[in-house]
Amino acid sequence: MVGELGRVSTKKSIASLILHDVKNPREHFIKEVDVKLNGSPIITQKLTVQDTNNTETVAYVIPDAKIGDTITIKAECSISGKLEKSLKVE
């Protein structure tokens, strides 16, 4: 799994493109995405299918985010493996 995080926009939103190659996105997929703001959990999204055979895209509004904060997104595969990426709000 490889992931990319976008920048936090002035509308306090963030998008993440999770690269995850699978043969069948209905059987093998990103099953959960967790978001933390400065280490505190703020969002958990459970998924049952992946967008495509290669990617899952998620986007969230984080109204409490401010310059200097850290946002962390963790993606978990339905079979095995996790990936976590963080970025500072600029």
Q: Say which residue, 7 or 45, is predicted with more confidence.
A: 45
12 — pLDDT class (breaks 50, 70, 90): confident
> Contact 82/76 with Cβ under 8 angstroms?
yes
Element (H, E) at 10: none
Q: Mean pLDDT, to the nearest integer, of 36-40? A: 97
> Contact 17/83 with Cβ under 8 angstroms?
no
CATH number, domain containing residue 69: 2.60.40.730
Q: Mean pLDDT, to the nearest integer, of 18-22? A: 93
Total domains present in the chain: 1
pTM, whole model, 2 decimals?
A: 0.86
Pick the closest to residue 16 from 30, 26, 25 (CA basis). Answer: 30
Distance, C-alpha 47 to centroid of its chain:
11
Element (H, E) at 87: strand 82-88
Expressed as residue numbers, the domain containing 23 is 2-88
Residue 51 has pLDDT above 90, yes or no: yes
